[in-house]
Structure 1
Amino acid sequence: MSHKTVLEKTYIGIAKVYVYDKEKVKGITKPKEKLLIEDLKCRIDYDTITGTEQGNLGQVYQQITLFCDPDIEIPPNSKIEVTQLGRTEIFKNSGKAAIYATHQEIVLSQNEVA
């Protein structure tokens, strides 16, 4: 069994990926959301990072990373809706993918809970 196949067994989420296209409405160009990928097997991982600033209390940051197949092309700044463990979350402004032989990792920005 390949490393890629083993990693794919950890994908417990399903994602929809949206990109923004341009649409002219009455002579005005507006951004329009367009579904690019549906039913993408994936996993999101939450990494909590605690930092301190001089003179302030510690602050907690959360980095959210999407793991999925490296053969799928997800453009930066995509909107990604992930359903994992019965909860759906919407992320905006996806980062540039880090591509590896077995998977890709994309840092996500929290948008809202659906």
Structure 2
Amino acid sequence: MVSARRKALETLWNGSCDVIGWGEVEDPVTHISKPGELILHQGLKCKLSHKNISATSQTGAGAILVQQIKLSLGNEYEIPAGSKVIVTQNGKTAAYKHSGEPAVFMDHQEIVLEIFRGWA
């Protein structure tokens, strides 16, 4: 059963995401397994948010601006570290990489993402 808090959160989630992992994929014709992308979850309701963090250095080199990208979604989904996350929100689609552990709350989880630059 979904709580009232969760329903309220979901009204703010205007995106959807697909979660893709890397593993052994069987070719449907030859039935030979080879490494490839596996779809773990599709069409999950989510919200992508951005936060700019600036830090100054003691060397006088100037401020460094870092953007933190955070994905909020239901806490019932297992999103393994290293997964590729494709998010569509506000008419734009982008690929990200999940690194690290999610912050799990009572009604949702938050995952810090990075721009996907390829499989490690």
TM-score of the pair, normalised by structure 2? 0.82
Residue of 44, 48, 53 corresponding to 1:49: 53
Are positions 1:62 and 2:64 aligned together? no
Instruction: Give, in whole Å, the separation in 1 of the partners of 2:114 and 2:73.
Output: 17
Q: Tell me which stretches of 4 or more aligned residues in structure 1 moved more than 4 Å.
A: none
Aligned pair partner of 2:93 in 85, 88, 96: 88
Letter in 2 for 1:52: T
Distance 2:79 2:94 in 1: 17
User: Which runs of 5 or more residues in structure 2 are unaligned?
Assistant: 27-32
> When the two structures are aligned, how many residues end up with a matched partner?
108
Report the identity percentage: 36
Q: In 1, Cα distance between the equivalents of 2:77 and 2:98?
A: 17
Q: How does 1:1-114 map to 2 (within 5 A)?
A: 2-22=4-24, 31-54=35-58, 55-111=60-116
**Match in the other structure for 2:29:** none
What TM-score does the superposition give when structure 1 sets the normalisation length?
0.86
* C-alpha distance in 2 between matches for 1:30 and 1:53: 47
Two-structure CA RMSD over aligned residues (Å): 2.0
What does the per-residue CA deviation read over 1:39-76, in whole Å, with 9 as the maximum and x for residues that have no partner?
00000110100111122110100000100011111111
5+ residue gaps in structure 1? Answer: none
